[in-house]
Amino acid sequence: MHFFLKRCSRLPEWLQPSASLLAAALLALLLVIIPQQASAQPIAGSDQEHSSETAATLRPGKRLVSWITLTRNFPGAFATHGPATSRRVALTFDDVPDNDYTPKVLDILAREKVKATFFIVGERALKHPDMVQRIVAEGHAVGNHSYDHTSYASLSMSEFKDQVERTNKLLHSQLGFTPRFIRPPYGEILPEQLLWTQSRGYYVVNWNVDTEDWKGLGPDQILRNVRRTLGPGSIILQHAGGGIGEDLSGTVKALPRLIQLLKQKNYELVTVPELLGKPEELESIRLY
Ligand SMILES: [Zn+2]
């Protein structure tokens, strides 16, 4: 905006707009810029999570609402970051568990004495129950990342609830508790779905630092991506469970360097429940 004003002041006098014209131009510019920024938010903060499939799978008559709007409309029930008032950040790992990348990430976290948050896909938990146990036994927090990684924006309300509840039922049987935190696949969730999660006491958590590691990036690029939007309260998105043909070796290589970088910058590494100040477990009274 400052740049715009400076440019105008250099115009010859006969070309300089009047104050009212300038004000109108500024207003028009703001009207153009603000909605674009708002609608760009989910795409900017995306993981595989936001591919070209997004628009195609959206249910007719539905539209995605920006994460800025969701944060404003669902305080305490939707967040992309924690409070910016203290130097605390949370590492999060999606699409777990598998038998390849999940143990490698857990080994590094154990060595570095860092606790993170893992978002579990139900059908993967069914295949790798030991790995779910290991995640929790080593002191990490867990959340629900759907049953089969379908975009919630493509589902009917009952299909959406089924994704959440099937996974919770399974995790309850494996862990003895129901996780409060939910991360929707691709970060996509509709306002009416959030109304339901809010009414049940769930907390939907996306991210504001996207490593884009799922693209098979090397550690240097992953670290550059982190530096782009890192700040106090950041929630950092990574993956620790690979799909078919997916290469997360860059994530594994980057992780010790990322932890070192965060510690050098005096960030305390905490779990999502710690960062957002809510217990990891859903109070059982909410379910009945
Ligand atoms: Zn995912």
Per-residue model confidence as pLDDT tens digits over 176-221: 999 999 999 999 999 999 999 999 999 999 999 999 999 999 999 9
The CATH H-level (homologous superfamily) assignment of domain 53-287 is: Glycoside hydrolase/deacetylase (3.20.20.370)
Q: Ligand 1 centroid vs 12 CA: distance in angstroms?
A: 55
Positions marked active-site: 94, 239
Compute the distance between CA of residue 273 and CA of residue 124 in angstroms, rounded to an integer.
23
User: What single DSSP character describes residue 201?
Assistant: T
- Give the SS3 label for residue 237: strand
Q: What type of residue sits at position 189?
A: I
Contact 59, 239 (CB under 8 A): no
Lookup: tokens for 261: 């970088």
Mean pLDDT over all residues of the chain? 85
Q: CATH 3.20.20.370 in the chain, residues?
A: 53-287
11 — alpha (psi -120 to 50), left (phi > 0) or beta? beta
- Global pTM reads 0.81
Q: Ligand 1 centroid vs 243 CA: distance in angstroms?
A: 10
Q: Ligand 1 centroid vs 176 CA: distance in angstroms?
A: 23
Write out the H or E segment, with its range, that includes residue 53: helix 53-57
Nearest to 213 by CA among 39, 53, 49, 42: 49
Q: Ligand 1 centroid vs 23 CA: distance in angstroms?
A: 44
Contact 68, 214 (CB under 8 A): no
Q: Ligand 1 centroid vs 192 CA: distance in angstroms?
A: 21
Contact 138, 271 (CB under 8 A): no
- pLDDT of the chain, 288 residues: tens digit per residue: 333 332 233 333 333 445 554 455 555 545 544 444 433 333 333 444 543 334 446 777 777 899 999 999 999 999 999 999 999 999 999 999 999 999 999 999 999 999 999 999 999 999 999 999 999 999 999 999 999 999 999 999 999 999 999 999 999 999 999 999 999 999 999 999 999 999 999 999 999 999 999 999 999 999 999 999 999 999 999 999 988 789 999 999 999 999 999 999 999 999 999 999 999 999 865 444
- Give the SS3 label for residue 179: strand
How many residues would you count in the chain?
A: 288
CB-based neighbours (< 5 A) of ligand 1, an ion: 94-95, 185
Q: Which pLDDT score is estimated for 212?
A: 97
